[in-house]
Amino acid sequence: MQFSDLNLHRSLLEAIKDKGYTAPTLIQQQAIPEILNGNDIVGCAQTGTGKTAAFAIPILEILHPIVGSAKKRKFIRTVVVTPTRELAMQIQANFDEYGKYMNTRTLVLYGGVNQNPQVQALKEGVDIVITTPGRFLDLYKQEFISLDQMHHLVIDEADLMLDMGFINDVKKIVKLSPENRQTLLFSATMPFEIRVLADSLLKNPKYIIVDPVSSTSKNIKQSIYFVEKEDKKKLLAHIIKEDAIEQAIVFVRTKHGADNVVKSLEKQNISAVAIHGDKSQSARIKALERFKNKEVNFLIATDIAARGLDIEQLPIVINYDLPNIPETYIHRIGRTGRAENEGRSISFCGKDEKTYWQDIVKLTQAKIKEITDHPFPWKESSDTNTSAPPKKDFRNNNKSQANKNKSKKSNSRKSDNSKKNKKRWY
């Protein structure tokens, strides 16, 4: 199938051509006609599948005749709700690129910054708002937002919003939207709550599932190093030098950990920069720009800060710490091997992370090469035998834990500490 088979306006086709895309991806092939037909959809697709364009392109097609000339008064016609500001900015960039020959105007809203410029832009008028949930509701309450003319509501990365405790805010936004809206919900995974949410908020949605969540891209060569926790820094520097790695994103579990990895790499004269929730918005944008421009070689990121980063053709992803949620592994390594490119993932597994690794192997069923030939293996007392009693698993989605305590109905993946800490990360 070609984009020209999708009956799109020539302004859109031209912009798509400028992007250099030859053919629509699977999710685009399925979602674009459904959205153009006015159907609600639930898209189950992981990052890297082209899902942003799968909703941005048909929305622009529908808006084009409505928006008309640049002089026509603007109303909010489309609202895209997304969990992080990075994702919001990336989605805006997509709308702007595909809509560059149209008169659509986009605006990103997110918290943690002065609201005045956002309010000013709303007053000047926009067609498409891409927003994190909290700031949108704040501005709505202050009556800077009217949804009377809204037609499309996109709920992006619904599973992450559930994870981050935003789902009630999302439900509030849905309630504020006109009844006759078209709703598009995207989620990389389909936990039960998202299914329930989709069934309650969408009208006869078409389900489009392009990639089972348990799959990792076949273009990614995955490897695992079993390494003592205290040796991870040395192993990282060793691999970077040994394999002459020029650029990679390195995932760590904590903000503190991210800063520590940066310091240790810098000591080895390896340029690195951290990106996490404690960094100011401008520092994060700057870090990302420096990484994209190859002024700095390694981006050390926590999961939340990294979600939504679109770095084209990233060759290598390094899991310095393993994620405690196996799906997160798929999201992380999905940043490489995108759009038919070859990719590589390198993971470190400390003894304390053994159960996490077992879960990842079980979920992905992928061929992951174990590298034993390295200077920092698990020490003698360590036990790589998977039949050994597993370490105590403190994760709150641990099934045995959940069974023991069925009265606790929350399925949130957030830690108890983060649940107690109501303050949002941004």
- Pick the piece of the chain touching ligand AMP (CB under 6 A) from 18-26, 131-139, 324-332, 362-370: 18-26
**Of these, 35, 42, 44, 52, which contacts ligand AMP (CB under 6 A)?**
52
Query: Of 7-15, 21-29, 195-203, 405-413, which part binds ligand AMP (CB under 6 A)?
Result: 21-29
Shortest distance, CB of residue 171 to ligand AMP, whole angstroms? Answer: 25
CA 180 vs. chain centroid, Å, equals 28
Helix axes 85-98, 10-19, angle to 10 degrees: 120
Shortest Å distance, C-beta 35 to ligand AMP: 15
Q: Does 315 bind ligand AMP (CB under 6 A)?
A: no
Which range, of 6-14, 48-56, 188-196, 257-265, touches ligand AMP by CB under 6 A?
A: 48-56
State which residue, 118 or 131, has the beta carbon closest to ligand AMP. Answer: 131
| Residue 83 found at the interface with ligand AMP (CB under 6 A) | no
Report, in Å, the least distance between residue 8 CB and ligand AMP. Answer: 12
Q: Which of 53, 89, 164, 314 binds ligand AMP (CB under 6 A)?
A: 53
Give Cα 66 to chain centroid, integer Å.
30
Taking the mean position of all CA atoms in its chain, how far away is CA 394?
25
* Residue showing tokens 């986009």: 106
What are the b/e assignments for 367-403, b being 16+ CB within 10 Å?
A: ebeeeeeeebbbeeeeeeeeeeeeeebeebeeeeeee
Burial (CB < 10 A; 0-12, 13-18, 19+), residue 277, is middle
Site size toward ligand AMP, by CB under 6 A: 15
- The side-by-side arrangement of strands in the sheet containing 41-44 is 106-109, 128-131, 78-81, 152-155, 182-187, 41-44, 206-209
| Sole binder of ligand AMP in the list 8, 34, 42, 50 (CB under 6 A) | 50
Q: Based on CB atoms, which residue is closest to ligand AMP, 28 or 217?
A: 28
**H helices present in 125-218, as ranges:** 133-141, 158-163, 167-176, 192-201
Q: Is there binding between residue 51 and ligand AMP (CB under 6 A)? A: yes
**Could you tell me which of 321, 392, 389, 394 has the C-alpha nearest to residue 360?**
321
**Nearer of residues 230 and 312 to ligand AMP, judged by Cβ:** 312
CB of 32 to ligand AMP, least distance (A): 10
47 binds ligand AMP (CB under 6 A): yes
The tokens for 156 are: 């992006």
Within 330-359, the residues that bind ligand AMP by CB under 6 A are 338-339
Q: Which is nearer to ligand AMP, 25 or 182 (CB)?
A: 25
**Residue 240 identity:** I
Between 15 and 53, whose beta carbon lies closer to ligand AMP? 53
Report, in Å, the least distance between residue 292 CB and ligand AMP. 12
Cβ 56 to ligand AMP, closest distance in Å? 8
Contact 102, 14 (CB under 8 A): no
Q: Is 111 helix (H, G, I), strand (E, B) or coil?
A: coil
Look up residue 194 and give its two tokens: 């998202």
Per CB under 6 A, 21 contacts ligand AMP: yes
Q: How far is the CB of 114 from ligand AMP (least distance, A)?
A: 29
Task: Please tell me whether residue 148 binds ligand AMP under the rule CB under 6 A.
Answer: no
Distance (Å, whole) CA 347 – CA 225: 6
- The contact set with ligand AMP (CB under 6 A) reads 21, 24-25, 28, 47-53, 310, 312, 338-339
